[in-house]
Structure formats: C-alpha cells, structure tokens
Amino acid sequence: MSTTVVDHAHDHSHDHAHDHPHGWRRWLYATNHKDIGTLYLWFSFTMLMIGGLLALGIRAELFQPGLQLFRPEFFNQLTTMHGLIMVFGAIMPAFVGFANWMIPLQIGASDMAFARMNNFSFWLLPPAAILLATSFLVPGGATAAGWTLYAPLSTQMGIGMDMGIFAMHIMGASSIMGSINIITTVLNMRAPGMTLMKMPMFCWTWLITAYLLIAVMPVLAGAITMTLTDRHFGTSFFNAAGGGDPVMYQHIFWFFGHPEVYIMILPAFGIVSQIIPAFARKQLFGYASMVYATASIAILSFIVWAHHMFATGMPVTGQLFFMYATMLIAVPTGVKIFNWIATMWRGSMTFETPMLFAIGFIFVFTIGGFTGLILAVTPLDIQMQDTYYVVAHFHYVLVAGSLFALFAGYYYWSPKWTGFMYNEWRGKFHFWNSIIWFNVTFFPMHFLGLAGMPRRYADYPAQFTDFNVVASIGALLFGLSQVYFVLFVVIPSIRGGKKAEDKPWDGAEGLEWTVPSPAPFHTFEVPPTVK
C-alpha cells in the first residue's frame, strides 16, 4: 500500500496530542475508518441487546395463554420497538461498521473518502437511538402501530409516534451519508490493478447495497413525513375521510421496505462469500455470476413490494404480477446458494467458528428463502398473512441470515481488528448454542402460523400453548447465548490472549493451501496486479 511522503518540518508548531486525540476525544472526533467501524459495531451490539430485551418481553408474555405481564397496548409497543430497534439500530449499523473496517483494507485505500462525514454519519445514530428508545417514557408511550407504522394507526398514536418519525429521519440521513461515502470510496480509491471485477465480494455487495440505500431511504422519509403532516398539519394523504387512502401508505412504505430487506441481507452474502473460499481453500466458484446475481437481486427488489399487500384487495392482475416477480428473485438467490456449495465441493474444508457460522447461514437462510417463496404464492399468502408463519419466515432471513453472517464476519476478521485470536472452543460453543436455540425458537412458529395464530396479539387460545412454551424457552436461551458471546468471546479477545498471526487463517491455525489452486483474494493485502 503506497503512502504519500509529507514534509513534517511544520509539525513542531502544533501540539502532537492535538493531531492524535486520546481518551474520549479519540472516539468523539474519530475520523479514521477503523475507529468509526468500531463505534458502529459497539453501538449496534448495544441496540441488539436492547432489542433482544424487548423480544424477551414479548416471549415472556406469550409463554402462557391469558394476559400475564403487560397490557395489550404495551405488548404492541414492544413488538413495534423491537422491530424498529433491530432493523435501524442493530442490523444496518453493524453492516456499516463492517464496511468501514473492511472496505478500505480490501481495496487498498488509506481510509474512507469523506472522513468528517463518516464521523457525522455515526454520531447521528446515538441521539436517534435515544429518541427511539425513550419514546416508551412519554404520555401514551411508544408507538404501537407495528414497525411498519401503518396508517390509520400511526395517525392516532401519541407523541411517541412523533419521536419515532424524528428518529427514523435522523437514521435515514446517517444511512444516506454512509452510502455516499462507501460508493465514493469504492469507485475512486481502489489501489492500482484492483479493477471492479477483482474486488472482494464484500466490497461488491456493499457497493450495490449503498445504491439501494440512496434510492429508498428518501421514500421512507416521504412516507413518514406524510404521516407527520396528516397528524399535525391537517393533510389527508392517508385519511379516507379527507379523500386520502390508507393503502397508499402501504405502497409507499413497502416500496422502501422491500429493498430494505435486501439492504439487510446483501452485505451478509458478501461476508459469506469471503469466508467460504478461505476455509474451503478454493477460489469462489462463479465470481462474475455472484456479482451479477447480487445486482439482479437489487434491481428486482424494486418491483416486488406489493407482495406484502396481497390481502388489501389488489386486482388479480396485480397479484399475479407481484407473485411472479417475487418468485423471479429466487433465481439469482439460488445461483448464490449453488455457488457457495460449489465452492465447498471437494475443497479442503476445516470448520473453525467463521466457517461454522457461514455454513449455518446457508442452511437457515435457505429455509427462510423457501418459506418466502411459499409466501409469494398469492392464495397461500392470503391464508398466512399476519400469522406467525410470516414471523418465522423473516426471522429465518434476518436473524439466521443477517445476524449469523455478522457473527461469521466477526470471528473471521476480529484477529485482524484486535491483534488477538478469540478462543476457538468458546466460539464453537456460541455457534452451537445460537443455531440450536434459534431453531427451537422460530421453527415452531411455522406450525403456529399454519394453524392460524395471528401475530402482534398478546393473548391466544389454549391450542397454541405448547409451541409458544417451546419458542419462549428457546428465545431465552438464544438471548443468553449472545450475552455469552460478548462477555466470554468479544471482551477477552479485545483484552488480549493468543497473538494473531499476519494471516490468521493461512497457516497460523494449521490451515494450509492444500488444493492446487491459487489463494483467493480474500487476504488483506492488495492483490498482485494480473499481467
């Protein structure tokens, strides 16, 4: 990596401590990509814990039929805030943290393109998170309209709704700035010889994700701003009495919301596409097709939004279009799954924790994909709309998809970040607990949904008791597994331990290139220029 030689003669005039702030100033004024990446990761983990506590509140209430702990209104506040905090506070910022850490390293750039804006886009998040979380404390409490904030519910709620709208505007601004930074960095700051089609897959998936974010965050801003003016300024965008249409809100929201779910999974695809070649000791099978598949998923994500709306009285022609368009997304997704399996085929695989999480990701993400395909079928979806089948489906994609890929990426790259190896036994313990208790929690929800149990209800008939007991126990143990992860894996590996080698996964841990194929470009150096 080339560095510019600068004349340092003038440096004696300033205070050196001012150039490199220490203590809290190092973090408050951070402009280097590694510190900002670290800030994002700690922030997102904090939000994961808060969102997880809300989820455990939901599962505690549903442990038995009848109303145990909460009023139904408060129960609905829990479901809403759990969704908003996990999506905007945990999953998205975690991937941005990975982008900050890894993209400059992978393309051979000295840093992100806009260092000050990078700092600003992070520091917008804590005030937004505080605004969102403290909406529980205002009169009327947090919004109970569901994370989708559907009208007319969202136009009736108390001040907590306004706090949520403001928080999401701030988080949206943060996402847009982060995306501009990522696009500029990837397109303009690659090392010589690093052409687009030689970039690591993680850089590709984030480049495409950043374009998606810039395209759809303003759409969300529009939907919630119209909600705001309906609430306070006498407009009637979503009020039928004034000539508006509450279903229009759903169209606008899901035009944002469907690409959003791909925003939360594409960077995960990138992480998995880095890890599997490393531990199979083979190059990624079908690199170009992976790039095209990612782009195809992104483009198709814009024409499927109304599959969330099959029960709204859509014309049959519209139902057919959205059904077929949704099924079409299964094709590039299937290409990715095929390529990952083909990469592992006849590879010299070892199963360290990153590889376990990556394979676990493929397994559970595939289940989530198949249930999504089932929900794409209009007549089936009309039966399962707003039941626990849908809850099971999107948690298989978002928990076992996004979250497992984040864990895989952490285990894979943390030796690079901290300089120390994590404890392999503890990593595996975290993996097995996570995958087992995840499935114990969410697999029974498929059966609950097929049997007709609606989501977002604080109570249910006795026939649903057994599966709910199983799910609630699983949820508690899954949550405890993540507490174990931070206390016994993350913190010890930051504080010290076995020193990581220069290439922690290449020889240091007994991994050798044992197949006659060149090492894939998953290392942290700039790849050699191909003649």
Per-residue DSSP letters for 304-346? -GGGG-GGG---HHHHHHHHHHHHHHHHHHHHHHHHHHHHHTT
**Backbone φ and ψ of 100, nearest 5°:** -60, -45
**Backbone φ and ψ of 28, nearest 5°:** -65, -40
Is there a catalytic annotation at residue 455?
yes
Is there a catalytic annotation at residue 307?
yes
Is there a catalytic annotation at residue 12?
no
- Options 308, 395, 430, 522, the catalytic residue: 308
Is there a catalytic annotation at residue 333?
yes
- Options 231, 282, 307, 446, the catalytic residue: 307
Is there a catalytic annotation at residue 412?
no
- Options 59, 82, 393, 522, the catalytic residue: 82
- Options 135, 174, 371, 481, the catalytic residue: 174
- Options 35, 61, 230, 260, the catalytic residue: 260
* Contacts by 193-197, CB closer than 8 A, 24 or more apart: 193/526, 193/527, 193/528, 193/529, 193/530, 194/107, 194/108, 194/526, 194/527, 197/287, 197/288, 197/291
How many contiguous H segments (helices) and E segments (strands) does the chain have? Answer: 21, 0
Is there a catalytic annotation at residue 262?
yes
Nearest alpha-carbon partner for 431 in 451, 453, 406: 406
Q: With beta carbons less than 8 A apart as the criterion, state whether 118 and 36 touch.
A: yes
Is there a catalytic annotation at residue 424?
no
Q: With beta carbons less than 8 A apart as the criterion, state whether 320 and 378 touch.
A: yes
The conformation of residue 135, written as its DSSP 8-state character, comes to G
- Options 80, 135, 154, 175, the catalytic residue: 175
Is there a catalytic annotation at residue 258?
yes
- Options 155, 227, 273, 481, the catalytic residue: 273
Residues 6+ apart with CB under 8 A from 191: 1, 107, 108, 109, 526
**Backbone φ and ψ of 169, nearest 5°:** -60, -45
- Options 33, 190, 281, 336, the catalytic residue: 336
Is there a catalytic annotation at residue 175?
yes
- Options 262, 305, 417, 505, the catalytic residue: 262
Cα(252)–Cα(397) distance, integer angstroms: 23
Is there a catalytic annotation at residue 308?
yes
- Options 110, 111, 426, 498, the catalytic residue: 111
Is there a catalytic annotation at residue 273?
yes
Three-class DSSP category at 487: helix
Backbone dihedral region for residue 141 (phi beyond 0: left; psi -120 to 50: alpha; all else: beta): left
Is there a catalytic annotation at residue 174?
yes
- Options 258, 281, 282, 393, the catalytic residue: 258
| Euclidean distance between the first and the last CA atom of the chain, given in angstroms as a whole number | 19
Q: With beta carbons less than 8 A apart as the criterion, state whether 9 and 116 touch.
A: no
- Options 301, 333, 402, 434, the catalytic residue: 333
- Options 40, 101, 147, 437, the catalytic residue: 147
Is there a catalytic annotation at residue 35?
no
Which residues are tagged catalytic?
A: 82, 111, 147, 174-175, 258, 260, 262, 273, 307-308, 333, 336, 455
